């Protein structure tokens, strides 16, 4: 008003900088995760992206592949066309989808991370493997997102996966200290 | 053309009546499942719907509740506000979401059903419990969908869950015949 003819640029969105007290994710982090997931987890691409992620993981850390009896000692080229590999990879990315869907609902997000941890601890998987997943996932982001991938986006996803892994460590320690390695989200005492 | 003024009704969509050879779902079945899931599994309602479904399941078959160590002998009113109950229910409905996302990709759908079966067989759950889930899920549909729920929609979902349960029976029989009840999708021989 009173400035006829001058076009003001749209006001940049002001984000609440307060990190979530449990996940550490800020409003901007959460928005970046949700936006990037629209590409990574899009209905048409999620299964192929999931497969490429697992091939990257196994290429970087071949020992992780050997945790999967059915994938042990197989060539990556063989896994690329394996229906079992596609299904396992897809199921993991559908689980990440449930994280993203609950990025604003910390209680559910933490509960889902707990279920993921309990199921894997029961199979003898340790936080070392989950750390490999985190490291490779961050490297995988630019392969899908290209120039839409920024350091702050990588940092946001890293924070999410670090939170998941913190839950893992906590539960693994509880399991080893109470001497009950039986696992099973439904048989827990919580 | 040549019929000025008369409005023709839109042509009803013609569906391919051929059932998928593995799931038995027709094109119309799949469309009905996807359309109804937009309501049942909508982002804003999925967690509440999941909770209501589990409360219905436990009300109808209290013994199923006792398969969950952490829910055993609890009042339904207590479970309604339990964060663990909400998370477990949500994770099941997010898994159903992955079925719906793959309703046109039978190979992935069957692979996801297999993973679901293997994980539950490993915990000592039998097809009897999965049959209870199927029966209650079909009864749950009208409570969410109201007059959008039709007998043919119920039949479509029933077919989907029967297919899942057929996978369960097949794997449970394989497990008992080869004497290896260890389970674990990743340790299987397939």
CA-to-CA distance for A60 and A79, rounded, in angstroms? Answer: 15
pLDDT number for residue B189: 35
User: Who contacts A132 (Cβ-Cβ below 8 Å, separation ≥6)?
Assistant: A57, A60, A61, A64
pLDDT number for residue B81: 96
| b (16+ CB within 10 A) / e for B17-38 | eeebeebebbbebbebbeebbe
B171's tokens: 């794997």
Is it the case that residue A75 has pLDDT exceeding 70?
A: yes
Q: Sort out which chain A residues have CB atoms less than 8 A from B188's CB and list them.
A: 69-70
B49's tokens: 């719907």
CA-to-CA distance for A89 and A65, rounded, in angstroms? Answer: 12
Q: Sort out which chain A residues have CB atoms less than 8 A from B68's CB and list them.
A: 186-187
Provide the 8-state DSSP code for B185: G
Q: Sort out which chain B residues have CB atoms less than 8 A from A69's CB and list them.
A: 184, 186-189
pLDDT number for residue B27: 97
CA-to-CA distance for A28 and A13, rounded, in angstroms? Answer: 10
Which of B87, B100, B118, B190 to mutate to test binding with chain A, by most A CBs within 10 Å of its CB?
Answer: B87
Residue that wins the pLDDT comparison between A32 and A67: A32
Q: Do A173 and A50 touch, CB atoms closer than 8 A?
A: no
Q: Do A40 and A144 touch, CB atoms closer than 8 A?
A: yes
State whether residue A188 sits within 8 Å of chain B by CB. Answer: yes
pLDDT tens-digit map of B21-77: 999 999 999 999 999 999 999 999 999 999 999 999 999 999 999 999 899 999 999
Residue B171: which pLDDT band, with cuts at 50, 70 and 90?
very high
Q: Sort out which chain A residues have CB atoms less than 8 A from B108's CB and list them.
A: 47, 83, 86-87, 90
CA-to-CA distance for A93 and A88, rounded, in angstroms? Answer: 9
pLDDT tens-digit map of B107-153: 999 999 999 999 999 889 999 999 999 999 999 999 999 999 999 99
pLDDT tens-digit map of A59-71: 999 999 999 989 9
CA proximity to B53, closest of B42, B40, B43? B40
Contacting A residues, span 3-62, partner chain B, CB-CB under 8 Å: 43, 46-47
Of A67, A108, A114, the CB nearest to B186: A67
CA Rg, chain B, in Å?
19
Domains of chain B, by residue range, sit at 27-174
Nearest CA in chain A to B109: A87
Q: Classify domain B27-174 by CATH number.
A: 1.10.490.10
Which of A120-129, A147-156, B86-95 has the weakest average pLDDT? A120-129
Provide the 8-state DSSP code for A190: -
What mean pLDDT is predicted for residues B174-189?
A: 50
Residue that wins the pLDDT comparison between A111 and A176: A111
Is it the case that residue B159 has pLDDT exceeding 70?
A: yes
Is it the case that residue B166 has pLDDT exceeding 90?
A: yes
Residue A165: which pLDDT band, with cuts at 50, 70 and 90?
very high
Contact B108 A90 (CB under 8 A): yes
Which of A42-51, A56-65, B4-13 has the weakest average pLDDT? B4-13
Q: Do A30 and A105 touch, CB atoms closer than 8 A?
A: no
pLDDT number for residue A22: 96
Q: Do A102 and A109 touch, CB atoms closer than 8 A?
A: yes
pLDDT number for residue B175: 76
Q: Do A15 and A28 touch, CB atoms closer than 8 A?
A: yes
pLDDT number for residue A174: 86
A1's tokens: 């008003």
Query: Cβ atoms within 10 A of the Cβ of B59, count?
Result: 11
pLDDT number for residue A6: 60
User: Who contacts B75 (Cβ-Cβ below 8 Å, separation ≥6)?
Assistant: none
């Amino acid at each position: 008003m009173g400035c006829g003819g001058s076009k003001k640029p749209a006001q940049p969105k002001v984000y609440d900088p307060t990190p979530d007290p449990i996940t550490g994710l800020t409003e901007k982090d959460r928005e970046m995760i949700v936006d990037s997931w629209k590409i990574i987890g899009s209905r048409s691409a999620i299964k192929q992206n999931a497969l490429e992620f697992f091939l990257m993981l196994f290429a970087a850390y071949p020992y992780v592949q050997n945790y999967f009896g059915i994938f042990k000692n197989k060539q990556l080229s063989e896994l690329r066309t394996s229906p079992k590999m596609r299904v396992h990879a897809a199921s993991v990315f559908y689980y990440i989808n449930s994280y993203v869907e609950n990025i604003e609902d910390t209680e559910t997000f933490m509960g889902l991370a707990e279920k993921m941890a309990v199921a894997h601890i029961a199979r003898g998987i340790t936080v070392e493997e989950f750390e490999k997943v985190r490291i490779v996932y961050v490297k995988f982001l630019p392969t899908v997102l290209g120039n839409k991938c920024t350091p702050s986006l990588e940092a946001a996803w890293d924070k999410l996966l670090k939170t998941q892994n913190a839950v893992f460590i906590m539960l693994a320690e509880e399991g080893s200290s109470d001497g009950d390695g039986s696992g099973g989200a439904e048989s827990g005492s919580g």
